[in-house]
C-alpha cells in the first residue's frame, strides 16, 4: 500500500512546498519512502513551474531541508481522487478545496495544523508579504504538524497492512 499526501496553499511557493519538503524529509528518514507519496500544489495558478520562494528555501535550508527541486503547480481535478489526504494551510485554501472537491472525496480534506503536537494555531499563516520571522513561524508550525502527521500516516499504513 502507498499512502499519498498533498499539501495545498495559495500559490505553492511558500507554505505547501515547505510542508512537502519537511514531510518528504521525515518520510525518507523513517524509511517510508516506498510507502508514502508526498506532493504540493496551489489553489491558484500564480507561479506555475516556479521554484519555492527564496525566503522559504533559505529558512528551510538553515534547518537541513532542501526545497530546490520542488516546482509550483495548481491543484487539478485528478488530485482529489489520487491522494489519500489533502492538507490545506489555511481556512481560505480549505474553502476553495471544498468547493472544487467532488462529494465522494470531501473526507480527504483537512488542515495541516490539525496534526500539531506542541504548537497551537488553526492555520499556517501566509508569510509572503511579511518579513523573515513569518517564514520561521511557518517552518515551526510545519515541523510540529509534520511530526504529528507522521504518526497518523504510520497508523494508516498499519491499519491497512494485511
Which residues are known catalytic residues? Answer: 9, 15, 126
The beta strand positions in 2-153, using DSSP E, are: 3-9, 36-42, 85-88, 109-111
Torsions phi, psi for 83 (to 5 deg):
-105, 145
Facing residues of 85 across strands? 5
Question: All 3 cell numbers of residue 99?
Answer: 468547493
Closest CA to 32 of 5, 14, 56: 5
Specify whether the CB–CB gap between 20 and 36 falls below 8 A.
no
Closest CA to 39 of 77, 81, 86: 86
Length of the chain: 162
DSSP 74: B
Amino acid at each position: 500500500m502507498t499512502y499519498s499526501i498533498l499539501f495545498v496553499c495559495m500559490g505553492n511557493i511558500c507554505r505547501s512546498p515547505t510542508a512537502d519538503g519537511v514531510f518528504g524529509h521525515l518520510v525518507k528518514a523513517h524509511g517510508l519512502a516506498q510507502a508514502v507519496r508526498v506532493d504540493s500544489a496551489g489553489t491558484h495558478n500564480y507561479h506555475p513551474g516556479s521554484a519555492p520562494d527564496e525566503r522559504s528555501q533559505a529558512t528551510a535550508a538553515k534547518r537541513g531541508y532542501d526545497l530546490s527541486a520542488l516546482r509550483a503547480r495548481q491543484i487539478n481535478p485528478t488530485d482529489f481522487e489520487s491522494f489519500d489526504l489533502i492538507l490545506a494551510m489555511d481556512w481560505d485554501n480549505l474553502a476553495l478545496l471544498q468547493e472544487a472537491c467532488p462529494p465522494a472525496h470531501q473526507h480527504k480534506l483537512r488542515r495541516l495544523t490539525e496534526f500539531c503536537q506542541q504548537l497551537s494555531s488553526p492555520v499556517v499563516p501566509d508569510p509572503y508579504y511579511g518579513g523573515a520571522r513569518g517564514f520561521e513561524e511557518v517552518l515551526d508550525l510545519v515541523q510540529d504538524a509534520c511530526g504529528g502527521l507522521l504518526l497518523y500516516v504510520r497508523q494508516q499504513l498499519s491499519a491497512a497492512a494485511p
